[in-house]
Structure 1
Amino acid sequence: MSSEYNPQTNQAVPLAYLTNAFCSGGTFLADGRVISVGGNAPLTWLDPNIGDGFTAIRYLQRSSSDASLNGQDWKEPGNKLASARWYATAQTLPDGTIFVASGSLNGLNPTVSTNNNPTYEILSPVAVTQGNNIPLDILVKNQPYYMYPFVHLLNDGTLFIFVSKASQIFNVGTNTIVKELPDLPGDYRTYPNTGGSVLLPLSSTNNWNPDIVICGGGAYQDITSPTDPSCGRIQPLSANPTWEMDSMPEGRGMVEGTLLPDGTVIWLNGGNRGAQGFGLMADPTLEALLYDPTQPLGQRWSTLASSTIPRLYHSVALLLLDGTMMVAGSNPVQMPILTPDAANPYVTEFRVENYIPPYLQGAKANHRPTNIVLPTTVTANGGQFTVSFQAPSNAQSCGVVLYHG
């Protein structure tokens, strides 16, 4: 299913697409469009209009200056990926091209190497493939934990790629490994025991040096699997990159970290036991965790409000334009079930929550600027642009944060 959702009015508009987007990857193009890449097999048994999505590329365009685009369906002009990819990761590169990596050829058992696609391909800035499937060594070495790798763009144009417990710095332009990084201690961190990964805010105060945090994970794909509370933090471009270990208050699988404008990270969703897959996770972790990277080791984690809604397989948390967060999803059963029973204690979840971070609570909520006017375009060419606003009368400092996507 796909829909366009308005968090202010709580209205959803269904959006059609032509191919099965289940377990696809996605990213923003440089022109602002969203693409969805890969997916799963045809759903002719359910809907004869939904075709094979393994090689599909889908486009969605919206614009703050063109309301006529609202409600328009996904566009699928017919160009395809160079190969089938189920659970692929996509990352936009500095020149606007798209790095698409990993995935399964058929959506079947990833422990069987012939099912896997341990390669990457490059799409043009308008998401047309160059047609080449290029082997990626870290995916081969870490099967079956090779799908949905964590990928972060570093400030020198290289990529940080993390799979299972292993990571490296990779140069896409030369197709070379720049540096192998030490393994992250603890359990597996990528599918089917995915934890969460964030690139911390880049700042001029540390010369834009990238700093990455990876938390959670698990041991194997079964509901009996323990989950990992540990977190690793690394600066991959430092002279001697090493993992600094920390810990969440509890083990969590399928936990998602979301950067906030004040530089902290909210971690939401997931469970304390099990793995990804239908009916494979229990003991939902309902509380929000706050991570403050500026605090000393051992003092960075605090526990905030708790939800009453389990958010397991296929759930999401993202920052909205007003500084709050939208929390949605959870379909731990293959076909929609709305009423829990003994066989399915955790069911399809259609409720949406709005989470208000600490910086918008209490007296802090009155400290935000008003009448903000942004430029229509910002070009990364070293030039200047203007942001105007009205500051509160008691303001003592001011900060501006650029947030991608």
Structure 2
Amino acid sequence: MVVSTAKIVRMMESVEEIKYPSSFGSLSDQIPTVQLRAVRDDGRCGKDFGGATCDPKGAYGGCCSMYGTPSGTTTSAAEPVIGPATSSIPPQATATAKVTTDGTCGTTNNNEVCGNWPNGNCCSAYGFCGSTSAHCGGGCQSGNCLNAPAVAAPGPSPAPLAPNGGSFEIVGQSGVPAMHAALMPNGKVMFLDKLENYTQLKTANGYYAMSSEYDPVTHAVVPLTYLTNAFCSGGTFLADGRVISVGGNAPLTWLDPNIGDGFDAIRYLGRSSSNKAPDGQGWSEPGNKLASARWYATAQTMPDGTVFVASGSLNGLDPTVLANNNPTYEILSPQAVTQGKNIPMDILVKNQPYYMYPFVHLLNDGNLFVFVSKSAQVFNVGSNTIVKALPDLPGEYRTYPNTGGSVMMPLSSKNNWAPDIIICGGGAYQDITSPTDPSCGRIQPLSDNPKWEMESMPEGRGMVEGTLLADGTVLFLNGGNRGAQGFGLMQNPTLEALLYDPSQPLGKRFTTAASSTVPRLYHSVALMTLDGCVLVTGSNPVEMPKLAPDAKDPYVTDFRVEKYTPPYLQGDNANKRPTNIVLSTLDVKTGGQFKITLTAPANAKTVKVMLYHGGFVTHSVHMGHRMLELDTAGWVQGQTAQTLTVTAPPNTKVAPPGPYVVYCLVDGVPGMGQFVQVS
């Protein structure tokens, strides 16, 4: 595999080289070179922030740490901002004849050109050499730039009103801002946030809680404790049913001296299907760490129960500076203990600075579909090889900080469990002025000749979340029509939900569903609960919680929890649920069978059994999210008392081990879901 710079190779050769000292430099490295300047109002300081100093009498403290933040051992809540400046560079910008030696180029890198650089000779708008459409398309500075994309992405397309668009209802409060979320095996929802100076809950030690457990039935919410800052972490469910949160950010001791450094942290939260009430048991952090610092990492559980963890920032600083980045992956054991190796990953290295929070889906051959920026590939983790390079997705950037939504359609035996993936939305650059992309690309990555089938939403959307519903359709919601991810960088909220039916022909898949009254912008989440409805909450596009909007921040912190009721539970359908659903086992073995008994409404015609995994939700990325339609036998049309024989998934490549929900749908109406453990 070719990597983009010798610097990255050296940096990733060992764990020790990417620990904090080499990433950030020592305090003595920074202070002597700083020209003292005015105090910033956000607490940032040091050489990377214009030489700003700290006010000893200010809220942040007087010491400037090696993180470029105040109070010696703390960091502020700021995020890495790529910015739109270079996006306006015209194609073929002035360049010298000097050829790059490290893969950087353009106006921010001494006007160097790429020449015969192995990754490609296009100098991107952000000053990196490559050959993808992100390098050679808009903003390309030198090399074989494209004046126009080879395939233009479609503009907005009308989506007719759905015959029944479902409904939104405000039902509760989240307790903490919902940066991360997951449906737990006890039926409750975990919310996880970064360190804040206000939440609705406090822990037993009197500090504000940064995690909570919400009951979708009673709407009760209780605080959960954790030990390290989980700011913009990734996550997945382990084979044993626990959810983990990996990575995060540095401590903020001025907020809570009990919360430590989370950059390389691994947090565990366990719940059981027999646990019928939130018990407030907090996150466990036994002390094992990632092999390196990872902020904005993606995680995926593999067929053997190991965990793939990829990407992230080493320090939260400017991603256009290679030394700040971590374009590698590492493997954790089934118990989430790292193997200690950081392995450079081609697609991440080449697509800096748009390399964080990649979309990852496990395919039925055991390989991964990996998408970042505009690029996609089929990747073999064990051999660290690219199995198949896939075409670039036309349109704008699709991953952080212009994240759209990515969903793998429900898998079934009807097409031998072949994956079919859609990616919608995105944007041009990280600024409130950025246009957003209405287009969607759908691809079957393991087909003989995979190509993107293009379609579009009624308007451009950034931070749009794709959530599978119990009937196998997809709900797209949340986000905005203008701007990008980052504090205060999105406007024009898109309040209407869209329903997407993957079984319909091209051009007829989108319909417009109900509209919410609550803007859901940066740091909002959506996931399906056991009743087949969708829980929607969050939106915290400010550095610290703010409850009242003003001219500076028209969109502020929102704790309201909504329930979206899909069409299949609207009106009379709510009374047509199958009932008395009993599974013969809650321990589902791949390759086997199990029984389900249920009571169907009179004269029912059809049944469908779906196996659902909600995954770990953050930043409109649904890590591990998947659904399978299982084969059934024994259904007798018109009979009320039914006994079904259900065939489990064939192997853990199709259904990686962990907790899932079984939904039984009779005539398209789901009964209450039940958690099972798949192995």
TM-score by length of 2: 0.59
- The 5 A counterparts of 1:18-37 are 18-37=227-246
Which position in structure 1 is the counterpart of 2:295? 86
Contact 1:375 1:387 in 2 (8 A): yes
Matched residue, 1:283:
492
Q: In structure 2, which of residues 321, 327, 332 is the aligned counterpart of residue 112 of structure 1?
A: 321
**Structure-2 residue corresponding to 1:205:** 414
Residue 238 of structure 1 pairs with residue 447 of structure 2: yes
Kept after mapping to 2: 8 A contact 1:61/1:69: no
Measure, in 1, the Cα distance between the counterparts of 2:265 and 2:475. 32
> More deviation in 393-402 or 362-371?
362-371
Q: Which residue of 2 aligns with 1:14?
A: 223
2:363 corresponds to which residue?
Answer: 154
Q: How many angstroms does 1:67 deviate by? A: 5.1
| 1-structure distance, mates of 2:540, 2:476 | 19
- Counterparts of 1:1-400 in structure 2, within 5 Å, are 1-66=210-275, 70-400=279-609
**Using the alignment, how far apart are the partners of 2:243 and 2:279 within structure 1?**
14
1:331–1:349 CA contact under 8 A, matched in 2? yes
Unaligned runs of 5+ in 2: 1-209, 615-679
SS state at 2:545 partner: coil
What's the CA shift for 1:65? 1.7
- The one-letter amino acid of 1:150's match is F
Offset at residue 380 of structure 1 (A): 3.3
1:111 is displaced (CA, Å) by 1.6
Tell me how far apart the structure 1 counterparts of residues 591 and 457 of structure 2 sit (CA, whole Å). 39
Aligned partner of residue 568 in structure 2, secondary structure: helix
1-structure distance, mates of 2:595, 2:588: 12
Q: How far does residue 68 in structure 1 lie from its aligned partner after superposition?
A: 8.2
Identical-pair percentage? 79
Residue 204 of structure 1 and its aligned partner are, at CA, apart by 1.3
Q: Give SS of 2:348's match.
A: helix
After superposition, the C-alpha distances for 1:158-192 in whole angstroms (9 at most, x for unaligned) are: 00000000000001111111000000000000000
Kept in 2: contact 1:62–1:70 (CA 8 A): no
* Residues 323-378 of structure 1, C-alpha deviations (whole Å, 9 max, x = no match): 00100000001111111111110000000000001111123333321111134433
Q: Give the distance between the partners of 1:25 and 1:70, measured in 2 at CA.
A: 24
Query: Aligned in 2, Cα 1:68/1:318: closer, same or farther, shift over 3 Å?
Result: closer
Which has the bigger relative contact order, CA under 8 A and spacing at least 6?
2
SS in structure 2 at match of 1:126: coil
Residue aligned with 2:608, SS = coil
Quick check: 385-394 or 233-242, which moved more? Answer: 385-394
Per-residue deviation, residues 78-108 of structure 1 (Å, max 9, x unmatched): 0000000000000000000000000000011
Deviation of residue 71 (structure 1)? 1.4
What's the secondary structure of 1:385's corresponding residue? strand
Give the partner amino acid of 1:7. P
Q: Is the 8 A contact 2:222 2:278 kept in 1?
A: no
Give the Cα–Cα distance (whole angstroms) in 2 for the partners of residues 302 and 68 of structure 1.
Answer: 37
Does the aligned pair in 1 maintain the 2:361–2:370 contact within 8 Å?
yes
> Which structure has the larger Rg?
2
Question: Unaligned regions of 5+ residues in structure 1, if any?
Answer: none
After superposition, give the CA deviation of every residue in 1:263-284 in whole Å (9 maximum; x if it has no partner): 1000010000000000000000
User: Matched residues in 1 for 2:221 and 2:278: separation?
Assistant: 15
Secondary structure in structure 1 of the residue aligned to 2:249: coil
**Contact kept? 1:266, 1:291, Cα under 8 Å:** yes
1:201-238 per-residue CA deviation (whole Å, 9 max, x = no partner) reads: 00111111100000000000000000000000000000
1:306: how far off?
0.5
SS of the residue corresponding to residue 365 of structure 1 reads: helix
Deviation at 1:384, TM superposition (A): 1.2
- Using the TM superposition, give the Cα deviation of residue 69 of structure 1 relative to its aligned residue in structure 2, in angstroms: 7.5
Asked if structure 2 preserves the Cα contact closer than 8 Å seen for 1:367 and 1:395, the reply is no
> Using the alignment, how far apart are the partners of 2:554 and 2:458 within structure 1?
25
Cα RMSD (Å) of the superposition? 1.1
Equivalent residues of 2:403, 2:485 under 8 A apart:
yes
- Structure 2: distance between partners of 1:69 and 1:295: 41
Indicate the SS of the match to 1:205.
Answer: helix
Matched-pair contact (CA < 8 Å) for 2:213–2:278:
no
Q: Secondary structure at the match of 1:283?
A: strand
Report the secondary structure of 1:364's partner residue.
helix
- Alpha-carbon contact 1:253-1:275 (below 8 Å) kept: yes
Secondary structure of 2:492's partner?
strand
Note if contact 1:30-1:125 (Cα within 8 Å) is conserved in structure 2: yes
Q: Deviations over 1:26-75 (max 9, x none)?
A: 10001100000000111112111111000000000000224588310000
Structure-2 change in CA distance of 1:221 and 1:383 (3 Å): same
* Greater alpha carbon shift after TM alignment, 66-75 vs 353-362: 66-75
Q: Give 3-state SS (helix, strand or coil) of 2:560's partner.
A: coil
Secondary structure, counterpart of 1:290 in structure 2: strand
Partner of 1:387, secondary structure, is: strand
CA distance in 2, matches of 1:234, 1:280: 30
Structure 2: distance between partners of 1:325 and 1:381: 28
Asked whether the equivalents of residues 311 and 329 of structure 1 are also in contact (C-alpha less than 8 Å), the reply is yes
Secondary structure of 2:594's counterpart equals coil
Alpha-carbon distance between aligned partners in 1 of 2:585 and 2:290, rounded to the nearest angstrom: 32
Q: Would you say the 8 A contact 1:85–1:105 is kept in 2? A: yes
Across the two proteins, how many residue pairs are aligned to each other?
405
CA deviation map 1:235-273 (0-9, x unaligned): 000000000000011100000000012110000100000
SS of the equivalent of 2:284 reads coil
> Per the alignment, do residues 340 and 78 of structure 1 end up closer, same or farther by CA in structure 2, a change over 3 Å counting?
same
Give SS of 1:386's match. Answer: strand
Q: Deviations over 1:276-297 (max 9, x none)?
A: 0000000000001000011110
Amino acid at match of 2:375: A
